[in-house]
Amino acid sequence: MSGRLIVLTDLDDTLFASERSLPTGAERARMVAVDGEGRPLSYQTPQQQRLWNMFRAEADIIVPVTGRTSYALDRVSLDFDAEYSVVSHGALLLQHGQVIPQWQSRLASELDTAKRNIGLARQELAAVVAEEFPATTLSLRELSDLEVPVYLSIKAPDFLPPGLHDRLVAVAEAHDLSLHRNARNAALRPSYTCKAATCVYLLEHVLQRQPQDTVIALGDSLSDLKFMAASDMAVIPTRSQIWHQLKELAQ
């Protein structure tokens, strides 16, 4: 059969899951990731292991597409044998663990502005939290990876306070950042922190996708749908955010 099989895959909650995220009673086939202290963190179920082994045996190219930073990806023990990876929610396109030169050139003119905008957004949000949500323990952290500003992280120990959403939207718009959030976490991102745009660039300009190639994408969250749209077919776990949304639409 002509053409390559190219797999673009999210990692956490798709190919494996942390102890907290595993389904109740799920069997742990093997440990595949550790935390920053080297302690066991994430495991594959037998089903995830079988899926991984199948793609590992058949695919010509497997590209991790992950919110993990470059250094957090290093803590995953799966043998991707991958020349390329998309990390930090798409901010970085790596080749053998280093930002590829053409991607670095694309980002060069935006880095100073992104760093300034993220810093200003952090200052404004810190004031908002102190004034309007003093009883809430929120952490605000500016995240960079390989000297590239990635996003402003907003985390809560349990759930983000409901009234915070409108403030996040306003701050994001004021500082030319996009908002991504779930129940516990939010992120304000510069435009280049985008899995979808990075995957399209990888397929079209780096891998030089051909009509005979088959691209399969794997993901679990609604935010993964945009990068998965660059594929010919998609694979989603049936306990995922995407699946639950589809079930609601189908009712």
pLDDT tens profile 61-108: 999 999 999 999 999 999 887 799 999 999 999 999 999 999 999 999
Are 171 and 181 contacting, i.e. CB atoms less than 8 angstroms apart? Answer: no
pLDDT value at residue 1: 65
Q: Which token pair is 230?
A: 């660059």
- Give the span between the Cα atoms of 130 and 220, in whole angstroms: 34
Kindly list the distances between the CA atom of residue 225 and the CA atoms of 108, 212, 234, in Å, as whole numbers in the listed order.
27, 23, 9
- Residue for token digits 């992280």? 153
pLDDT tens digits, 35-53: 999 999 999 999 999 999 9
Q: What is the mean pLDDT of the chain?
A: 93
Record the tokens describing residue 131, joined without a space: 């004034």
148 in Cβ contact with 113 (< 8 Å):
no
Is 151 within 8 Å of 89 (Cβ atoms)? yes
Mean pLDDT of the 11-40 span: 91
Residue 113 bridge partners (DSSP): none
Closest CA to 81 of 57, 113, 108: 57
For residue range 151-173, list pLDDT tens digits in order: 999 998 888 888 899 999 999 99
Say which range, 20-29, 59-68, 136-145, has the weakest mean pLDDT.
20-29
Cα end-to-end span (Å), the chain: 39
**Residue 2 has what pLDDT?**
84
Q: Determine the 3-state secondary structure of 42 from DSSP.
A: strand
- pLDDT digit string, tens, across residues 186-197: 999 999 999 999
**What predicted TM-score, i.e. pTM, was given to this entire model?**
0.91
Mean pLDDT, residues 104-133 taken together: 95
Query: Looking at residue 184, what is its pLDDT?
Result: 81
Tell which residue, 232, 228, 231, 150, has the closest CA to residue 240: 228
Structure tokens at 126: 């810190």
Q: Report the chain's C-alpha Rg in angstroms.
A: 19
Q: Where are the beta strands (DSSP E) in 80-184?
A: 84-87, 92-95, 98-99, 139-145, 148-155, 178-181
Amino acid identity, position 154: I
